[in-house]
Structure 1
Amino acid sequence: MSIDVLGPLMDGRSADEANCSAVEEARRQLEICNACRYCEGYCSVFPAMTLHRAFSDGEVTQLANLCHNCRGCYYACQYTEPHEFAVNLPRALAEVRVESWERFIWPSGFARLFQTSGVALAGALCAGIAVMIMLAYAIRPNSGEGFYAVISHTVMATLFTVSSFLPLIIIAAGLWSYWRTVGGERVRLAHLREAFIDAGRLKNLKGGAADGCNYEAQDRFTKARRWAHQAVMWGFVLCFAATTSGTIMHYGFGWEAPYGPLTAPKLFGVPGGILMTLGGGALIGLKLQAEKSLGAPAVWGGEMAFVLLLTMTAVTGLALYWATGTAAVPALLVAHLGAVLALFLTLPYTKMVHVPFRLAALVRDAQTKGTR
């Protein structure tokens, strides 16, 4: 595609124009990409992009949340800097994505704080651990076995019920606002099935080739990020299954923790914790290797702190399991519950919120495929 054809799309603006909002800059770049279409066979963003001649704010937001930041399009693009068009679509969409989470998640001030500051996440973790320590020693039960000799069941259940349901309510409200903004329609079972299959396979992390994406290896394709995400995702699912089975065993059958190695909580939880630890460690390494300027640099610290917190949750959980029956249990239990509490309470304001938003984007994309 020649410069003469694409030139009018610049509309007199430069890529670093002062006071250019994230949505406006992403719109400018999407218009250039839509005229070129060299990357049409890459991820789901590009076929979805071709449905439009112009992009509303809602359409830009949808495409941004559909993007998985594999970065393949950047390394294939002929209009990146030093070209005057200065196309950097991965960064432009990443910044819109972050902006959308801040806008839709209430209260937006907290969302902005946690997205831009890793220190805030560390503070939340410390606060969570401090709370658990105070509860462990100031309200410790006079009787109880296992974990409940350190923290009473009532206190533990109350804390985690509140810290689980409140973030979910906030996220649900944010998703509703997102759905209205992107023009979402009535959801059918076929839409959900396609979205969950795409999410489970992490199809869009393969970029424009079956060999993977370019996240950490620039113009070379690798599958490392895809496998790391798979490990974290399925590890989280297994840990959730462990928690669910433990809840059923406690309330349904009166069996209290800690549980033996051949019980459902351990058969799900131990492999889940190992997968989360390995996947989280891999993501930390990949993030350190990746080029910051191809994401949203302003929130790099917050994203890294989130991955560290997620990994610490898994590591302390495994350590607690291996320390069962020793004097280290009280300290490890406080550390683990503090990490989990901090993770849950900050859930709507960290990058963890990309999971429901990206799933919603995949559902919306499934709805529009019939019009292509």
Structure 2
Amino acid sequence: MQIHPLITDSATLAALVARLAQSPFVAVDTEFMRENTYWPDLCLIQIADDKEAAAIDPKAKGLDLKPLLDLLVDNEDVLKVFHAGGQDLEIVYNLTGKTPHPLFDTQVAAMALGMGEQVGYSNLVESILGIKLDKGARFTDWGRRPLDKRQIDYAIGDVTHLVEIFPKMLNRLRKTGRGQWLDQEMERLGDPANYENLPEQAWTRIRVPSRKADVLGRLKALAAWREREAQGKNLPRGRIAKDETLADIAAHPPKSQADLAKVRGLSPSWASNDIGGRLIGAIEAATPLSDDEMPPREDRKPGLGKEGALVADLLKLLLKVRSRESDVAPRLIARSDELEAIAAGQREGLALLEGWRYDLFGKDALALVEGRMAFSVRKGRMVMSEVTPPE
């Protein structure tokens, strides 16, 4: 495989992309920093097919990334291969408003092959290729320039190994007949809605005990205010205000901006500065949460209550049994909240009651909940057996 020098000019990048566009698939990875920013700071892009590989410096002056981004989000003929690509997809979405498509994620594929729920890249490389990676450059400062040879070699290795791993994993999936299982997973991973940062939805990520519409309405307004402040200043949202601070203000709103000096977690200067004024403005503009937006009551949530919790525990045991028998990671089959939903009587809108998940696990989960199946032990192994439900 040809390894190119670091690409820093538009002509070289455009020529590389033109060649890669003729390949059936490309492996892609990124290096970025986000400890001190809201938006990920893209520092390096690595891409390869089975013939050539290169690292691209997005910070290079005058570099036009458009041909590369077009390849990732608009070229339907080239499959884009990532490992644990969620944050890579987020970066591409932030740059284009789209996500790479079509898509293959080797971490998700590893779950279908029984290799674990969140197998790391180095473990995957060692398992499939027998190569032990040097992790020394993993936590390097990717924003520093110039990048040294060790950093670039480490970064390119992520895609050159991925190029070798992908066909081997694809072959295993074909042999097991599980390749089609992943189509839905890849579509879900690549859904652009996953990567939207809508200020109006930010409140749903904050835990607050109150169900009062006015409190939740203020929380929604405060969370949206914080999100916009963080985006505009390109700072982590926690640097603006912590979740618990917003929850406290929503429950006990200050009567005036001067009262912000008394709020734990805020700087006293907010009692008189512009950001404090915008916070007060958000509180004053808040309206009670509408009935349609109100979260479900706790006593209606799946899995709560003693009986519901016991049923959910039985479903988790069944999931372990079916996962072991099929050699598929439990997380790929069903999530805990789905099991709790089944236990609570929900039957609509659950992935585990559709397609291959239903065949592998969902139909037995329903049978267990409805009393048509029970656990037993045979030769020291937990198995399921059909029973006649009581009249």
One fold, TM greater than 0.5? Answer: no
Superposition TM-score tier, normalisation by shorter sequence: under 0.3
Which protein has the larger Cα radius of gyration, Structure 1 or Structure 2? Answer: 2
Higher share of residues assigned helix: 1
Normalising by structure 1, report the TM-score: 0.25
Normalising by structure 2, report the TM-score: 0.24
Structure with more relative contact order (C-alpha pairs < 8 Å, separation 6 or more): 1
Higher share of residues assigned strand: 2
